[in-house]
Amino acid sequence: MTGMSRSARWARLVAGCLVVSCASATAGDFAPRQGEVKALIDEVSTQGVDRAWLEDAMQQADYRQEVLDAMSGAAEYHMVWHDYRGIFLDEERIAKGVRFIEQHQESFERVQREYGVPVEVVAAVLGVETRYGEIKGDHRVLDSLSTLAFHHESRGSFFRGELAAFLEIAHEQGVAPGSLKGSYAGAMGYPQFIPTSYRAYAVDFNDDGVRNLWTDPVDAIGSIGNYFAEHRWQDGAAIYQDARGPASAPASVDFNQAQEPYVTVAELRAAGIEPRGELADSTRVIPLALEQADGSIDYRLGLDNFYVITRYNHSYLYAMAVTTLAEAIAAQRGEPDDWFSATAFEAGERS
């Protein structure tokens, strides 16, 4: 931000409207992109959102360089498993997960009954995303999404879609868009849904007439269950299979890709990686090579439900953190954990 006031910047912009209609000059910090901003307003206004409201909202948007910096430094892009695991697998987060389930027992039981997603997995998503609603982000969502929409070199188009969805949600719920805060990437509320996910998968789980992920943990619990169910979560199926393999990950195997299961068990066996249990040679899995603090490799085979978790965040590290936190919460609750891993073996071998 410069020292110039918002009103002064707006006046200078209006004064520069020679040929272009002044109605198109609607973004204070995004005046150089006013054509793109106008196109966005044109698009969203066709969805029944008042044009004057949209112009006022975009006039309030501020450019944030720290948002672009944070995008390039996201932990999922730069960390290995043992470091990433350390962020989310602490005793306090595990204990809070147990307490959070107890506080919302009825909602968790209902989400497992209706959507087939284990309560610990839903709780673990909330634990990883916002520490059960404690840390929802302190960036104005309007600023984050506007910055990314009009200044991100490779994903601007994607974020323009998210900005459009965000404006629709704020207008629909009667909330000032500048008042809503979230992550640097525009993720929002307890479950950190991006706006298009909010619009597509949020549910009114407590039947109060509002889909409120900002402050309502019950709606958040139900919405995560719905999200996973819509992405084809398999009720009662395991998330991963443990495996054993060579000290160094074979170069012939493409590990750790957040894709639909893409390597057959037969191909992994040929590379020296054996499932710890029964899996047909034709079964497709996501081969995971998880680097430990001592440099050793922990092999796991992600199954269909592991892939579903990566639809929430397209990172194998994220999916493994959710799974491991869910396992830890289940263990502390004294619940059976055979739905996590398709293999039963000594707990001490897992890390």
**Domain span at 147:** 7-67+138-182
pLDDT at residue 34, as a whole number = 84
Tokens of 62: 């501020």
- How is residue 281 written in tokens? 């040679």
275 is a domain residue: no
In angstroms, the CA 349 to CA 298 distance is: 9
**Residue 148, domain member (yes or no):** yes
As a whole number of angstroms, the distance between CA 98 and CA 243 comes to 29
**What is the distance between the alpha carbons of residues 133 and 30, in angstroms, rounded to a whole number?**
32
pTM: 0.87
Distance (Å, whole) CA 294 – CA 317: 18
**Which among 126, 265, 245 is positioned nearest to 193, based on CA atoms?**
126
Give residue 347's pLDDT. 36
pLDDT at 350 over 80: no
pLDDT of 227-272, one tens digit each? 999 999 999 999 999 999 999 999 999 999 999 999 999 999 999 9
The full 3-state SS of the chain, as one line of letters, equals: CCCCCHHHHHHHHHHCCCCCCHHHCCCCCCHHHHHHHHHHHHHHHCCCCCHHHHHHHHHCCCCCHHHHHHHHCCHHHHCCHHHHHHHHCCHHHHHHHHHHHHHCHHHHHHHHHHHCCCHHHHHHHHHHHHCCCCCCCCEEHHHHHHHHHHHCCCCHHHHHHHHHHHHHHHHHHCCCHHHCEECCCCCECCCCECHHHHHHHCCCCCCCCCCCCCCCHHHHHHHHHHHHHHCCCCCCCCCEEEEECCCCCCCCCCCCCCCCCCEEHHHHHHCCCEECCCCCCCCEEEEEEEECCCCCEEEEEECHHHHHHHHHCCCHHHHHHHHHHHHHHHHHHCCCCCCCECCCCCHHHCC
- pLDDT(94) > 60: yes
Distance CA 82, CA 21 (A): 56
pLDDT tens sequence across 278-305:
999 999 999 999 999 999 999 999 999 9
Q: Evaluate whether residue 178 is within a structural domain.
A: yes
Higher pLDDT, 138 or 28: 138
* Alpha carbon separation from 147 to 71, 215, 219, 225 (Å, rounded): 11, 25, 29, 31
Within 13 Å of residue 163, how many CA atoms lie on the same side as its CB? 30
Could you tell me if residue 54 is inside a domain?
yes
Is residue 253 assigned to a domain? no
Percent of the chain residues past pLDDT 70, beyond the cut: 86
pLDDT of residue 145: 97
Residue 340 has pLDDT above 80, yes or no: no
CATH number, domain containing residue 157 = 1.10.8.350
User: Are β-strands 139-140 and 181-182 bridged in parallel, bridged antiparallel, or unpaired?
Assistant: antiparallel
280-311 b/e (C-beta count within 10 Å ≥ 16 → b) = eeebbbbbbbbbeeeeebbbbbbbbbbbbbbb
In a domain, 61, yes or no: yes
What per-residue confidence (pLDDT) applies to 342?
66
pLDDT value, residue 155? 92
What's the confidence (pLDDT) of residue 88?
Answer: 93
For the chain, the domain total comes to: 1
Pick from 242, 240, 205: nearest CA to 226: 205
Which residues are annotated as catalytic?
129
Burial of residue 128 (CB within 10 Å: 0-12, 13-18, 19+) is buried
What pLDDT was estimated at residue 189? 97
The residue ranking higher by pLDDT, 28 or 329, is 329
In a domain, 41, yes or no: yes
Confidence at residue 30, expressed as pLDDT on a 0 to 100 scale: 72
- Greater model confidence, 281 or 343: 281
**pLDDT of res. 75:** 63
CA dihedral 274, 280, 281, 283 (to 10 degrees): -100
Rounded to the nearest integer, the mean pLDDT of the chain is 88
